[in-house]
Structure 1
Amino acid sequence: MPALRPAPALPDAAAALLLIDIQQGFLDPRWGQRNNPQAEQRAAELLHTWRDVAAPIYHIQHLSLELGSSLGAGQPGAAFQGLVQPLAHEAVIIKHVNSAFIGTDLEARLRGEGITQLVIAGLTTDHCVSTTTRMAGNLGFRVWLVGDAAATFERTAADGRTFTAQAIHDIHLASLDGEFARVVESAEVLRGLGA
């Protein structure tokens, strides 16, 4: 497998911010225990900084095609959480699967704008965040994944073992770091942009 280009220390103001699936449906307690209750606040801080420096922003919205999903089109759960509501001029990419690149024009938009750097945050670490990060790295983008601006939920394995949300989050970040992205904290990114 060819080596991917490692991301430099920190992104600059040319990097696009991708906020993945920060939607009302993920506040439903039926998802189970989650980690990092501050993830949405950290994502909102990134969003406000990106707006301040007029850098590109993409809001990713998952609209499930599964019958009865709280993330289905028209369901209250599909709406963006208040902290990260898109402004009228900000791009919203609608997806129906885990990757923000599958079945969307995200890659074409990024290429068309000459964007080569991506900063990724959102929900959930092990599903849509991880899948999008992996694809972004494979497509040749330089990627920073903001670990404290992402979160996930506990999971039960096929053999009945339960894994905590924090363990799943940490393992996925460790797996992605250095291979598909550089994992960073929001404070690092904000300092790098002069916030």
Structure 2
Amino acid sequence: MKEQPAIPLVILDVQDAIDQPVWNNKSHPNYVSVIQRLLQHWRSNGWPVLHVKHDEKKPTSTYHVHGPWNGIKKEVAPLESEAVVIKHENCAFIGTQLHALLTSLQAKRFVLTGVVIHNSMDATIRAGKALGYEIILPADATTAVPVTGPHGQCWDALTVYEMTLAILGSGYAQVTTSDDVVAQFGR
């Protein structure tokens, strides 16, 4: 019987930019430590890790390609052997090598972590689902920030987080916890 390929861990947009004031009041400020734990688990098992780095073209963005906060956070910095996918849009599949890398790994599913759940994470999950992937989303390995609507209504980060997870969990991703992911992919 042929062994199943290892499930890749994808870390999305965890860059110094996310610590700038525009991203304050996160619903889950400890998400990075959760990602670190998953990253350590993946590395200790020799499983594939893919980092996605957002290089925003807009100069006013904290993620601006030439900005001071564009680097991947040191807590989750890639090893030389780990692929770094560069993206310029909110979706990690648009104009990137992510789909090709996952295909080369024979991955039909992957674990997605990163920021923020209602922006790049959401866009990537929806596109990944449309491409036929099963996406495993440990809810404690992501976060949200408050959102203000076009008419001034503001939703707090926890409401945004819970609503987005409810929507994504209704048919786009398997929403779970990091503890369940480690138990499911334990060794």
TM-score by length of structure 1 reads 0.90
Residue 148 of structure 1 aligns to a residue in which SS?
Answer: helix
If asked which structure has higher relative contact order (CA below 8 Å, sep 6+), I would say: 1
Pairwise CA distance, 1:68: 2.9
8 Å Cα contact 2:5-2:105 kept in structure 1: no
Pairwise CA distance, 1:130: 0.8
Deviating more after overlay: 179-188 vs 13-22:
13-22
Residue 144 of structure 1 aligns to a residue in which SS?
Answer: strand
Q: 1 CA distance for matches of 2:131 and 2:52? A: 18
Counterparts in 2 of 1:178 and 1:15: CA distance versus 1, 3 Å? farther
2:111 maps to what in 1?
A: 119
Which of residues 147, 153, 157 is equivalent to 1:161? 153
Deviating more after overlay: 184-193 vs 123-132:
184-193
Q: 2 CA distance for matches of 1:13 and 1:107? A: 16
Which of residues 14, 17, 41 is equivalent to 2:9? 17
* Structure 2 counterparts to residues 1-195 of structure 1, below 5 A: 14-194=6-186
Q: 1 CA distance for matches of 2:5 and 2:153? A: 43
**Percent identity at matched positions?**
29
Residue 141 of structure 2 aligns to a residue in which SS?
Answer: strand
Q: Which runs of 4+ in 1 moved over 3 A?
A: none
Q: Compute the RMSD of aligned alpha carbons.
A: 1.4
Q: 2 CA distance for matches of 1:48 and 1:110? A: 20
Residue 46 of structure 1 aligns to a residue in which SS?
Answer: helix
Deviating more after overlay: 168-177 vs 12-21:
12-21
TM-score by length of structure 2 reads 0.94
CA displacement, residues 67-88 of structure 1 (integer Å, 9 cap, x when unaligned): 2322112322111112101011
Residue 78 of structure 1 aligns to a residue in which SS?
Answer: coil
8 Å Cα contact 1:13-1:53 kept in structure 2: no
Report the residue type matching 1:25 in the other structure.
A
Pairwise CA distance, 1:30: 2.7
8 Å Cα contact 2:85-2:98 kept in structure 1: yes
Q: 1 CA distance for matches of 2:179 and 2:147? A: 29
Q: 2 CA distance for matches of 1:157 and 1:178? A: 23
Q: How many residues align?
A: 184
Q: 1 CA distance for matches of 2:100 and 2:67? A: 28
Which residues of structure 1 form unaligned runs of 5+? 1-11
Q: 2 CA distance for matches of 1:70 and 1:30? A: 8
Pairwise CA distance, 1:164: 0.5
